[in-house]
Structure 1
Amino acid sequence: MGTLFFFHSPIPHFSLPSMPKPIALPPLSCLRNNGDVNSLHEQKSEGNKNVDMSQSMCDDDQNVKQDNIWQLFKEAQQNILYLNKQRLGAIEKLDKTNREKQSLLSKIKKLEAEKQAGAGKDNLSTCSELLLRIDAMVLSSMISAGEASELRSLVMNHKVSLADVFNIISHKKDPELLGELRRFSDGHKKNGFHIVHICTEMTPLVPRGSVASYVTGISRALQRKGHLVEVILPKYASLNLDEVQGLHEVNVEVTSYFNGQLHGNRIWTGVVFGIGVTLIEPKYYSSFFSHEMIYGYPDDFERFSYFCRASLDYIVKCGKQPDVLHLHNWETAIVGPLFWDTFVKQGLEGTRILFTCHGFNSQGIEQPDKLALCGLDPLRLHRPDRLQDNTNTQLVNILKGGVVYSNRVVIMSSIYPKHVIVHNLSHELEPTLNVHRDKLVIAPYGLDKSTWDPSTDYFLPENFNAENMNGKAFCKAALLQKLGLSEHSSTILMSKASLMANKFSILMWVRQLQTTSYFDKRRTSSRWRE
């Protein structure tokens, strides 16, 4: 074999840069001494080709992997976006579900509250609320006055059963409620009286005086006996509305006549101690009942005559046909002349007037021409047998008109008989009371157990009631002992609570006591002077 020589191609001379680049060297060649390329060179060439192919394949694999990775990345990114979208959708659905849940919980609480409120109502409160709904139906022309009267009779006849039904359907709108009432109706006749008080006081809304407690007490007593009782009041700015259930404004304006024009009124209804209450609020004459006090203003006649006329207009428009209109004192006495001169032929032919007088100190003395404000004829009424004042004949006496134009007059007195009141306590109304003597009734104030009940008063040493009076004697003995008086002493303890608390009435009371065998007349008179 010849000698092997290894040759390299000559390396050119370059000035080296700061970063030298690698120089591609030609492949090594193995030559024989005769200058032929030997077989090793061929093998090296083939090996280089294989290396290049392998490198190319590796590069291709690397590119494929990179493409796959990029594709996976894009797919992962799309999946993340999709999952985020799904998550946001789920959150929105969850929020919506929570809102619906809270809404349902609120409705459940509201229904439970309404149920508890309904459970707290007695049958009278429920029926009064139902009657006020019937009034609203008439005002909105949903039903006629005749049908309203029949529905009121239905309510009066079926208080207990209707109360249960109404507690279930009270949330329904008027058309649905009307359908239920019509289905319930069986056409029975009423078995109680329908009484409407037109007054200026009522406990606890306007606890001004004895009229307030009297109206509430007698209304509750009559309803317990099966009668239907309603009360109409002015809507004073100072009303105490804490005890009013279901107070709301009727969405219908009721007009009334005053001073030559028709004026709008806002109507409010509610229930107090089971009694349906209607409040009338003037729009144009809004200042009439915005005063701090109830009485004692120069325009009292204008204020209360407006209210009386508006009350009658409201009754007629609602289609009410009460058996009794109950009036109180001079403030609402003008209803009597208005009723018989203007309203009796407007569907109220079967209604009668009851006038209760709690005292004669205030009688409402006015100029005759003021009667025209509420639609009355001054010339027709300014007569001795009607409203002309018995003392000052140039004026009219409104309380006298209440006596003259009423079917029955009740005078409240727990002490005096009729003849004493007529002759001594009537304040110049004796001629009128004598003429109408047959329709006068004297009634005591009585005891309102809602204010004080001796059977439950824990301050008493022993309780008592009308059926068992033993405790009263024990209370008397305890009082005498506390005052240092002998149980067998002839001393009498006296107390008096009366509207007629003037000097004359007290002297009359003492004079009556002096006639009894228990008193020494001289000692009593001396003690009174002290």
Structure 2
Amino acid sequence: MQSAANFPRIWNPSPIGSSSKVQLVNLKQHRKAHALHCLRSEGHEEKLENSSQDKLGVSSVVKEDKHKDIWNLFREAQQNILYLNKQRLAAVEELEKLKNEKVELLERLNQLEAESQIVIKKDKSSLLWELLLRVDSMVLNGLIGTEEASSMRQLVREHQANISEFPLDVLQQGDAQVLAELRQLPNRGKRNGLHVIHICTEMDPLVSVGPLASYITGLSCALQGKGYLVEVILPKYSTLDLDEVEGLREIEADAYSYFNGQLYANRIWNGVVSGVGVTFIQPLYYSSMFSRDKVYGYPDDVDRFAYFSRASLDYIAKSGKQPDVLHIHNWQTAIVGPLFWDVFVNQGLEGTRILLYGLKLCLVPPERLELCGLDPASLHRADRLQDNTNPQMVNILKGGIVYSNKVVIMSSAPSKSIPGLEPTLAVHKEKLFFAPYGLDNSKWDPSIDVYLPQNYSAENLLGKSTCKVELQRQLGLEENGSATIVGCIFSEISGVDLESLKSIIRSRKKNDVQFVIMIMNEDQMIINEMERTQDEIEGGNLKVVTGSNEVVSHLIYAGSDIMVCLNFFQDPLLQVPLKALKYGTVPIELNPQTGYVGTHEQEATTANFINSLFGRMSLDQALDLMKDGRLWKLKIVEAMEKDLCCDVHISAYTSIKSL
């Protein structure tokens, strides 16, 4: 038996001791749980409290925003009501104003009607004297010169028999309106004007090689605007821009014409170009004559245009046309002159006369005249077609001069001649009319000029002020609408008196005069000299532009008040004086030719017109004239309305009919 000592002792806690320990542990756990519960409860309550406060804050903001919105809507409604009230009051005032204006207008109409009744009762003698006295007024206010006034008085007296036809309402208007109407007296009762047919080789925009094309179109449109009936006959080139022809149609019947001993058929086309009737002649047998790449420059040019000239006359005679004037151009159609008088004058054209515009010569052997039916033996004479310097040849342009009733020479040179034909022109000097080169009105017309910021015309000059400001802006001049701009455009600088030019610039250093000089020349020495002068002028009132810039050149013509020219005869191609007049800019001469006198009593050159309208003014005199704004405007409006080229031709046409 084991001893008790060998068994392990097992501790047996008493029941009381064990129970106390368990209770102690449970108590601690309970306290811990209670503490956690309290903490959790406190955190939850804080969250609930915060959540409630947040909800309460959001609700307050929403209420405040709604309150603001309502207040804003109320204020807007108040403003709208006030605005509508103002509009209503303004409408009432405007209505009242219109009523008053209506009453005033009715009163004015009644007054005018009463005045017109008084005028109607005037007899011819009263009207005659009223017009004569208005001429006196025009002289006194500088609207016309004494020479024109004398002519105007004579004109009024000559129309005394039908003076009652003068528009009576015009008498109630200003002198300028009366003057414009008086100038129409010669055409009174002649609204249809003359019937003119151009036989030519170019017409813009159909076919254009040189200045003839724009000359034909511009002159034709201008004449039709004055009551003339104008048509054009052209070869039907294969290169024609037929899209420019309105109502192009082919005439069914062929028209035959004589050439080289036989009759040949031609196809005839017609249409309208720029408001002018145009007829095209297309050879059938000689179809290659005008089916070429170029208009001129072929060995058979004489044959080609002789055929066309004869075909044109055959067509006119056959169609029964009886024009007042056949207007022929350069050597290409100058042969129409001898053809008309030797062959066609007795074919229903007894009342027709010939006018030639010509510059270029063409010499051919006499036998070539037979191609179109002329007799070489009768024409190869010194007083007819024989050339002045080469007697073995005939000069077709000379034949045009000899066989035309009147001759217009387009020239700006004082010599007013055609080299090689001086003896012929001297013999036929009574036929001669001289005109400046006409402008291409599709390009040089301020009312349609695409290079201007705003177009203008003689009837509305507002755009010219805009052009002035734009010119100042582009060139860096002070933008001052009241400043006077003096422009200068030179193409050939070799003839410029630089010292005179610099002198007039330096003499006008005031801020109210600005100079713009365009030098279309590559002479660097001249350019450097003018640029040094530019640096000398204080205030930046001189700007020098070099090279050819079409936009700037158009802007200089439009934006300038005065244009300084070398003289009125030099540089006929650039045509500075003529363009200046067209754009309402007064031209003055830097180097006037004081000794020049016109070579023919009928001559109407640019220089003569400028001198008659403005006098031979210096720059200082022109600046003084500008101070009289009314007179200045009257003069530039008259200059813009003047078409020197057209006026010369009208004089030539009119003189032809009196032969």
Amino acid in the other structure paired with 2:194: F
Within 5 Å, which residues of 2 pair with 1:338-353? 338-353=339-354
* Distance apart, 1:477 and its partner CA: 7.2
User: Would you say 1:430 and 2:422 are equivalent positions?
Assistant: yes
For structure 1, which segment, 483-492 or 317-326, has the greater mean C-alpha deviation from structure 2 after superposition? 483-492
Alignment-derived partner of residue 248 in structure 2: 247
Whether contact under 8 Å (2:337, 2:400) holds in the other structure is yes
Q: C-alpha separation between the residues in 1 aligned to 2:205 and 2:371? A: 31
Q: C-alpha separation between the residues in 2 aligned to 1:245 and 1:490? A: 44
| Aligned CA distance change for structure 1 residues 491 and 342 (closer, same or farther; 3 Å) | closer
Amino acid in the other structure paired with 1:455: S
Q: What are the Cα deviations for residues 352-382 of structure 1, in whole angstroms up to 9, with x where unaligned?
A: 001112xx3x311100110011000111111
Alignment-derived partner of residue 223 in structure 1: 224
Amino acid in the other structure paired with 1:353: I
Amino acid in the other structure paired with 2:374: L
Alignment-derived partner of residue 400 in structure 1: 398
Alignment-derived partner of residue 380 in structure 2: 382
Alignment-derived partner of residue 289 in structure 1: 290
Structure 2, unmatched stretches of 5+, are 1-188, 493-565, 573-588, 594-616, 620-659
Whether contact under 8 Å (2:220, 2:276) holds in the other structure is yes
Alignment-derived partner of residue 57 in structure 2: none
Q: C-alpha separation between the residues in 1 aligned to 2:477 and 2:446? A: 23
Whether contact under 8 Å (1:355, 1:402) holds in the other structure is yes
Alignment-derived partner of residue 153 in structure 1: none
> Counterpart of 1:493 in 2: which secondary structure?
strand
* Distance apart, 1:478 and its partner CA: 5.3
* Distance apart, 1:277 and its partner CA: 1.2
Q: C-alpha separation between the residues in 1 aligned to 2:485 and 2:430? A: 44
Whether contact under 8 Å (2:191, 2:227) holds in the other structure is no
* Distance apart, 1:207 and its partner CA: 2.0
Q: C-alpha separation between the residues in 1 aligned to 2:470 and 2:291? A: 49
Q: C-alpha separation between the residues in 2 aligned to 1:299 and 1:397? A: 16
Amino acid in the other structure paired with 2:427: V
| Aligned CA distance change for structure 1 residues 454 and 304 (closer, same or farther; 3 Å) | same
Larger radius of gyration: 1
Q: C-alpha separation between the residues in 2 aligned to 1:240 and 1:252? A: 24
Whether contact under 8 Å (2:215, 2:439) holds in the other structure is no
Whether contact under 8 Å (1:490, 1:518) holds in the other structure is no
> Counterpart of 2:247 in 1: which secondary structure?
strand
Whether contact under 8 Å (1:233, 1:280) holds in the other structure is yes
* Distance apart, 1:218 and its partner CA: 1.4
* Distance apart, 1:301 and its partner CA: 0.5
User: Would you say 1:421 and 2:421 are equivalent positions?
Assistant: no
Q: C-alpha separation between the residues in 1 aligned to 2:439 and 2:394? A: 36
Q: C-alpha separation between the residues in 2 aligned to 1:421 and 1:403? A: 15
User: Would you say 1:412 and 2:410 are equivalent positions?
Assistant: yes
Q: What are the Cα deviations for residues 113-142 of structure 1, in whole angstroms up to 9, with x where unaligned?
A: xxxxxxxxxxxxxxxxxxxxxxxxxxxxxx
Out of 487, 498, 509, the residue aligned to residue 570 of structure 2 is 509
Within 5 Å, which residues of 2 pair with 1:45-444? 191-357=192-358, 360=359, 362-413=360-411, 415-417=412-414, 420-422=415-417, 426-444=418-436
Q: What are the Cα deviations for residues 235-290 of structure 1, in whole angstroms up to 9, with x where unaligned?
A: 11111100112212211111111111111111111121222211111111111111
Alignment-derived partner of residue 53 in structure 1: none
Q: C-alpha separation between the residues in 1 aligned to 2:267 and 2:450? A: 45
| Aligned CA distance change for structure 1 residues 446 and 491 (closer, same or farther; 3 Å) | closer
| Aligned CA distance change for structure 1 residues 437 and 376 (closer, same or farther; 3 Å) | same
| Aligned CA distance change for structure 1 residues 509 and 258 (closer, same or farther; 3 Å) | same
| Aligned CA distance change for structure 1 residues 339 and 474 (closer, same or farther; 3 Å) | same
* Distance apart, 1:411 and its partner CA: 1.2
* Distance apart, 1:384 and its partner CA: 1.1
Alignment-derived partner of residue 494 in structure 1: 490
Q: C-alpha separation between the residues in 2 aligned to 1:476 and 1:275? A: 36
Amino acid in the other structure paired with 1:388: Q
Residue-pair matches, total: 314
For structure 1, which segment, 344-353 or 508-517, has the greater mean C-alpha deviation from structure 2 after superposition? 508-517
* Distance apart, 1:346 and its partner CA: 0.6
Q: What are the Cα deviations for residues 453-474 of structure 1, in whole angstroms up to 9, with x where unaligned?
A: 3134464255443356676577
Amino acid in the other structure paired with 1:377: D
> Counterpart of 2:446 in 1: which secondary structure?
coil
Whether contact under 8 Å (2:356, 2:400) holds in the other structure is yes
Q: C-alpha separation between the residues in 1 aligned to 2:618 and 2:571? A: 13
Q: C-alpha separation between the residues in 1 aligned to 2:389 and 2:465? A: 49
* Distance apart, 1:208 and its partner CA: 2.0
Q: Percent identity, please.
A: 61
Q: C-alpha separation between the residues in 2 aligned to 1:260 and 1:351? A: 26
> Counterpart of 1:242 in 2: which secondary structure?
helix
Whether contact under 8 Å (2:247, 2:271) holds in the other structure is yes
Q: C-alpha separation between the residues in 2 aligned to 1:366 and 1:313? A: 23
Q: C-alpha separation between the residues in 2 aligned to 1:195 and 1:489? A: 43
Whether contact under 8 Å (1:243, 1:272) holds in the other structure is yes
> Counterpart of 1:257 in 2: which secondary structure?
strand
> Counterpart of 2:233 in 1: which secondary structure?
strand
* Distance apart, 1:387 and its partner CA: 0.7
* Distance apart, 1:481 and its partner CA: 6.7
Amino acid in the other structure paired with 1:509: Q
| Aligned CA distance change for structure 1 residues 458 and 195 (closer, same or farther; 3 Å) | closer
| Aligned CA distance change for structure 1 residues 509 and 447 (closer, same or farther; 3 Å) | closer
Amino acid in the other structure paired with 2:490: M
> Counterpart of 1:404 in 2: which secondary structure?
helix
Whether contact under 8 Å (1:222, 1:229) holds in the other structure is yes
Q: C-alpha separation between the residues in 2 aligned to 1:312 and 1:460? A: 44
Query: What TM-score do you get using the length of structure 2 for normalisation?
Result: 0.44
User: Aligned-residue CA RMSD in angstroms?
Assistant: 3.1
Amino acid in the other structure paired with 2:389: T
Q: What are the Cα deviations for residues 432-462 of structure 1, in whole angstroms up to 9, with x where unaligned?
A: 1111111111122444544443134464255
Within 5 Å, which residues of 2 pair with 1:454-493? 454-457=446-449, 459-461=451-453, 463-467=455-459, 472=464, 475=467, 479=471, 482-483=474-475, 492-493=488-489
Whether contact under 8 Å (2:309, 2:335) holds in the other structure is yes
* Distance apart, 1:224 and its partner CA: 2.2
Q: C-alpha separation between the residues in 1 aligned to 2:313 and 2:341? A: 11
Amino acid in the other structure paired with 2:570: W
Amino acid in the other structure paired with 1:206: V
Whether contact under 8 Å (1:412, 1:445) holds in the other structure is yes
Within 5 Å, which residues of 2 pair with 1:28-39? none
Whether contact under 8 Å (1:409, 1:439) holds in the other structure is yes
Alignment-derived partner of residue 115 in structure 2: none
User: Would you say 1:453 and 2:514 are equivalent positions?
Assistant: no
Q: C-alpha separation between the residues in 1 aligned to 2:307 and 2:458? A: 44
| Aligned CA distance change for structure 1 residues 329 and 480 (closer, same or farther; 3 Å) | farther
Q: What are the Cα deviations for residues 33-55 of structure 1, in whole angstroms up to 9, with x where unaligned?
A: xxxxxxxxxxxxxxxxxxxxxxx
Q: C-alpha separation between the residues in 2 aligned to 1:278 and 1:238? A: 16
Whether contact under 8 Å (2:232, 2:279) holds in the other structure is yes
Structure 1, unmatched stretches of 5+, are 1-187, 497-505, 520-530
| Aligned CA distance change for structure 1 residues 369 and 458 (closer, same or farther; 3 Å) | closer
Q: C-alpha separation between the residues in 2 aligned to 1:238 and 1:491? A: 41
Q: C-alpha separation between the residues in 2 aligned to 1:394 and 1:408? A: 27
